[in-house]
Amino acid sequence: MDPTITFRSLAKMIDHSLLHPTLTDQAVASGCELARRYGVATACVKPCSVGLAKGILAGSGVGVGTVIGFPHGSQTSAVKLHEAERGLADGAAEFDMVVNIGKALGGGWDYVESEIRAVNAAVGAGGTLLKVIFETDYLEDAAIIKLCEICAAAGVAFVKTSTGFGFVRQANGMYAYRGATDHHLTLMRANCPETVRIKAAGGLRTLDDLLRVRALGVARIGATATDAILEEARRRGYC
- List residues with catalytic annotation: 96, 160, 199
The secondary element (H helix, E strand) that includes residue 168 is: strand 168-169
Q: How far apart are CA 145 and CA 100, in angstroms?
A: 16
Nearest to 103 by CA among 135, 81, 129: 135
Q: How far apart are CA 216 and CA 218, in angstroms?
A: 6
Number of other CB atoms surrounding residue 45 within 10 Å: 29
Query: In the beta sheet, which residues pair with residue 66?
Result: 45, 95
The secondary element (H helix, E strand) that includes residue 16 is: strand 14-18
Query: In the beta sheet, which residues pair with residue 223?
Result: 16
Distance set, CA 14 to CA 37, 95, 223, 225 (Å): 13, 14, 7, 10
